[in-house]
Structure 1
Amino acid sequence: MSDRLTVSKTYKLYLGGAFPRSESGRTYPVTDARGRFLANAAQASRKDVREAVVAARAAFGKWSRATAYNRGQVLYRVAEMLEGRREQFCAEVAAGEGVPAKRAAALVDAAIDRWVWYAGWTDKVATVLGAANPVAGPYFSFSLPEPTGVVGVLAPQGSSLLGLVSVLAPVIATGNTAVVVTSQDRPLPAVTLAEVLATSDVPGGVVNVLTGHTAELAPWLAAHADVNAVDLVGAPQELRAELERAAAGSVKRVLRSAEPDWTAEPGITRLRAFLETKTVWHPMGV
């Protein structure tokens, strides 16, 4: 028998490209599907939500102005690094979701493939969702998609990696920045994804990851005046109406959806969800 003690991990938040402890100093235990201890995770507070929004807003200008080609290259680099940590993701998904190793591997592979898929959409969104509008007069009229701004994402509770990728990747692929509240009981793949983002080319603040109790953090995120939109897919059912009312106070865009079959083809619904359409008129011959 080994005399070596197991080093229990205490994971931190991911804010503005750094890994701070929660402002409150709180942590909570994360267990596997059988109730066995895996690690401690930071339990974020209201102040951590505010700090995450500040970081996301500061990063929005540069990220939204980056060329679509550049964003695509940055996202593809993330996919390369996800592939490099595939075994770790497989172990975390298997433990957290209680699925066999083969099933966990299939879910991780699907998550990596989906990240690549959204990376490929960065320079196609304007063509597919934009338009040259027919007008009666000597003018050009163009409609162009633009990012909404800072998006609050309540990550899916049941699908710790594939679901998370499916809601996060389209947000940042279209030029938005994100504040993510992870799955409460299965946060470890999200924390590992944060470590990937921190060592990739994604600028600090583009994605901010908060672990903790969803019911505690969601109202502050929905009510925050500097958050432009929220995705409620991971919100507790009993809180959804309250969160929508809170979001209405600052006229946020709200995406309402139950958790779908994340293994199905994603389509472009989530690419459209957090884009605004800007129409520009220009006289001919000028």
Structure 2
Amino acid sequence: MSEQDERATKAAGKAAKAKPKAKAGAAAAQGAGSSATTARLSVLKTYKLFVGGKFPRSESGRVYEVTDSEGNWLANAPLSSRKDARDAVVAARKAFGGWSGATAYNRGQVLYRVAEMLEGRREQFVGEVADAEGLSRAKAAEQVDAAIDRWVWYAGWTDKIAQVVGGANPVAGPYFNLSTPEPTGVVAVLAPQDSSFLGLVSVLAPAVATGNTVVAVTAERAPLPALSLAEVLATSDVPGGVVNLLSGRAAELGPPLAAHQDVNAIDLTGADDELARELEIAAADNLKRVVRPGLTSDWAVEPGLERMLAYLETKTVWHPTGSLGAAGSAY
């Protein structure tokens, strides 16, 4: 064998030995690429306010940490400012004419649609309520189911409440005297601190069902179920501005809402005794209707009519009868 042939044979042997190493290196590189494609960062949810049918951040740019019952971080929630509260009142006032002017039947259909949407996202709310209130999933499911049923309950009352609190009044004279309920206007609500979802629905739905528009301050410690409810409201048939949801501190947002001249009623359920006294004094300046804390303490009990009646005014109309002839008699 020539020297040239001998060199070629040695080179071929070295190449054969290198092939297994190359294959192993390629396999390792492929495995690394595969793990790189499967490993990913979670997309964390950004919670925002709900004002005028839109999802703005707080104008102050502030947020605060929301934790579960064991102190584990869940999310950052917007920390609403007084300016956010004023913007929400403007949105609620703008929406009041259209919502109060809608037929009671139509309002009932809209509220029922909210219940349908909640039913479709039931598992999401069960998880959020369980984390917010430190409940088992079974207990949280009971809370969510009760909240959905409550939406349906109030939806059914929209076109019936007038028959209960209105009617014809006997008078001495040739007149029809008719009393009918009308919505109060813009209602500010401090949601319960101890029931992040069922309690919120229990104070929110009766105000909306009777034709009012609402600015609600969510539970400070557990605002996430309420802020997720905003997504349901935005994708249902509820007109923008009918419901406005602010996360933050009741002690900071309550005073500007209670003193606001364009707010017609305020629900103090989520205020402590000291704050409630302060807000009652502020609310007296424009004779707001005030729903004091303690009207309901157990949110699991069947609702009554008290909260709907709290947000209704009575309009009485006089109309002559037979003195106008056939037309008057027919009326």
Q: Does 1:130 align with 2:130?
A: no
What secondary structure sits across from 2:290 in the alignment?
strand
- Report Cα offsets for 1:78-120 as digits up to 9, x if no partner: 0000000100000011000001110000110000001100000
Counterpart CA distance in 1 for 2:224 and 2:167 is 41
What secondary structure sits across from 2:241 in the alignment?
coil
What residue identity is the alignment partner of 1:104?
A: A
What residue identity is the alignment partner of 2:91?
A: A
Tell me if the contact between 1:9 and 1:40 (Cα under 8 Å) persists in the aligned partners.
Answer: no
User: CA RMSD for the aligned pairs?
Assistant: 1.1
Counterpart CA distance in 2 for 1:56 and 1:130 is 26
2:280 is matched with which residue: 232, 244, 265? 244
Task: Could you tell me which runs of 5 or more consecutive residues in structure 2 were left unpaired when the two chains were aligned.
Answer: 1-34, 323-327
What residue identity is the alignment partner of 1:74?
A: V
1:158 maps to 194
2:41 maps to 5
Counterpart CA distance in 2 for 1:68 and 1:193 is 23
Greater fraction helix: 2
Task: Give the Å deviation of 1:268.
Answer: 0.4
Q: Does 1:272 align with 2:309?
A: yes
Counterpart CA distance in 1 for 2:252 and 2:95 is 25
The aligned length equals 286
Which of 1 and 2 has higher RCO (CA within 8 Å, sep 6+)? 1
Percent sequence identity over matched residues?
A: 71
Counterpart CA distance in 2 for 1:110 and 1:15 is 26
Task: Could you tell me which runs of 5 or more consecutive residues in structure 1 were left unpaired when the two chains were aligned.
Answer: none
Counterpart CA distance in 2 for 1:186 and 1:7 is 21
- Superposed counterparts of 1:167-246, under 5 Å: 167-246=203-282
Tell me if the contact between 1:150 and 1:179 (Cα under 8 Å) persists in the aligned partners.
Answer: yes
What secondary structure sits across from 1:140 in the alignment?
strand
Task: Give the Å deviation of 1:3.
Answer: 4.2
2:319 maps to 282
For normalisation by structure 1, the TM-score amounts to 0.98
Counterpart CA distance in 1 for 2:103 and 2:316 is 19
Counterpart CA distance in 2 for 1:129 and 1:43 is 40
- Superposed counterparts of 1:18-33, under 5 Å: 18-33=54-69
For normalisation by structure 2, the TM-score amounts to 0.85
Counterpart CA distance in 2 for 1:145 and 1:265 is 23
Counterpart CA distance in 1 for 2:232 and 2:219 is 18
- Report Cα offsets for 1:14-50 as digits up to 9, x if no partner: 0000001100000111111111011111111010001
Task: Give the Å deviation of 1:127.
Answer: 0.3
1:16 is matched with which residue: 52, 63, 79? 52
Task: Give the Å deviation of 1:257.
Answer: 2.3
1:260 is matched with which residue: 289, 297, 303? 297
Tell me if the contact between 2:196 and 2:222 (Cα under 8 Å) persists in the aligned partners.
Answer: yes
Tell me if the contact between 1:8 and 1:40 (Cα under 8 Å) persists in the aligned partners.
Answer: no
Counterpart CA distance in 1 for 2:130 and 2:149 is 18
What residue identity is the alignment partner of 1:247?
A: A
Q: Which structure's CA Rg is the greater one?
A: 2
Tell me if the contact between 1:215 and 1:236 (Cα under 8 Å) persists in the aligned partners.
Answer: no
Tell me if the contact between 2:207 and 2:214 (Cα under 8 Å) persists in the aligned partners.
Answer: yes
1:55 maps to 91
| Runs of 4+ with deviation above 2 angstroms | 1-10
- Superposed counterparts of 1:83-94, under 5 Å: 83-94=119-130
Counterpart CA distance in 2 for 1:184 and 1:244 is 20
